[in-house]
Amino acid sequence: MANENSGLHTAKRNKKDEFYTQISDIENELRHYRKLLQGKVVYCNCDDPYVSAFFEYFTKNFEFFGLKKLITTCYKNQRMDLFSQNDADQAIKLEYEGGAPHSLPTPTDIGVTILEGDGDFRSQECIEILKEADVVVTNPPFSLFTEYVAQLAEYDKKFIIVGHQNAITYKGVFPLIKGNRMWLGYGFKRNMAHFITPHYEDTASDTDHQEGKIRVSGVVWYTNLDHNKRHEEMILVQRYHGNEGEYPTYDNYNAIEVSRTQNIPMDYHGAMGVPITFLTKYNPEQYEIIGATESEGAGFSSGLWHPESGVAQAAVNGKRVYKRIFIRNRNPIAPEA
Ligand SMILES: C[S@@+](CC[C@H](N)C(=O)[O-])C[C@H]1O[C@@H](n2cnc3c(N)ncnc32)[C@H](O)[C@@H]1O
């Protein structure tokens, strides 16, 4: 029974992971990293070249980026009958070093090889390819996101990957964000994306509904490649006038509540709690990330928490607020006299 159940869970999880990134979304993000990809070996390790728009994008733009090599491998279960032209039970690998006779080579033109194992990104076979790669670019399975990121960190790889914004405060992810070893990319329009999938019924409202696609909100790009947006200074317009009104002090943290990123007061010198979406505007020269609430991980608040309160989620006048991260302005202006 236990086995049957775990089989069911795996099936459910696999199904949940089966949605495909649109080439337009890849184009919108990747164009910002052109210089940084020059001469690099790019590895897409969750990508069936017969299905993945990452493969299409990088072969089409191989010369534009001046890539050294493109490698894609895919998990055997990724090969969907609906799209796949090959045997769905086999994991495959494709290597491309440019020079195709036309600008849109297919996997068959380039040639694929069969992997020995199942193509799991954690398999030794795929780790050996990872070691050879300079930059990993893909949309990995959301259900394995923490493990996925841990592996990239372990092998000290550069990456540009799709994930959900909720992962920001995952135990295995937040320390990297706090330590400026991982940050958000340019992102999707309105922080949401449509992914191609035959498995789901899209419940999005009429205007957002797109046939054969599912709308997922809270989707972001994570990277550790530098980009211009990360150095744009956020213009602040509000001032702090004591903790009575707009910026109450938390009941259980030594910090003030700033419920909207755009309202960060320009003259506050101490710790501020902000929503996780603050990261879309985060510039490390302007702000320091101090931590997050203890509800996200023990010790995450870097001592701002009052443990005697017994409440880990940030609260204002007894009312709990949603996930918060704590930041400090590195260059606040002087408070009003
Ligand atoms: C969110 S989908 C994205 C697919 C593709 N990268 C794209 O962006 O269109 C994640 C893919 O990872 C595959 N996958 C799941 N577990 C995996 C594993 N352990 N190793 C490699 N790929 C895996 C899934 O089959 C799924 O196709």
Query: Is residue 292 very low, low, confident or very high in pLDDT (cuts 50, 70, 90)?
Result: very high
Does the beta carbon of 47 sit less than 6 angstroms from any atom of ligand 1? yes
Nearest Cα residue to atom 18 of ligand 1: 120
Nearest Cα residue to atom 20 of ligand 1: 120
Query: 15 CA to middle of ligand 1, Å?
Result: 10
Contacts of 328 (CB under 8 A, 6+ apart): 269, 270, 271, 272, 287, 288, 290
Full-model pTM: 0.92
Q: Are 72 and 54 in contact (CB under 8 A)?
A: yes
Query: 46 CA to middle of ligand 1, Å?
Result: 4
Ligand 1 test: best mutation among 10, 12, 15, 17, most atoms within 8 Å of CB? 17
Does the beta carbon of 20 sit less than 6 angstroms from any atom of ligand 1? yes
> Length of the chain, please?
337
What does the pLDDT look like over 107-139, one tens digit per residue?
Answer: 989 999 999 999 999 999 999 999 999 999 999
Q: Highest mean pLDDT range out of 102-106, 108-112, 182-186?
A: 182-186
Structure confidence at residue 214 (pLDDT): 84
Q: Give, for 61, the enclosing helix (H) or strand (E).
A: none
Average pLDDT value for the chain: 90
Domains defined along the chain, listed by start: 13-229 (3.40.50), 256-329 (no CATH)
Query: 20 CA to middle of ligand 1, Å?
Result: 9
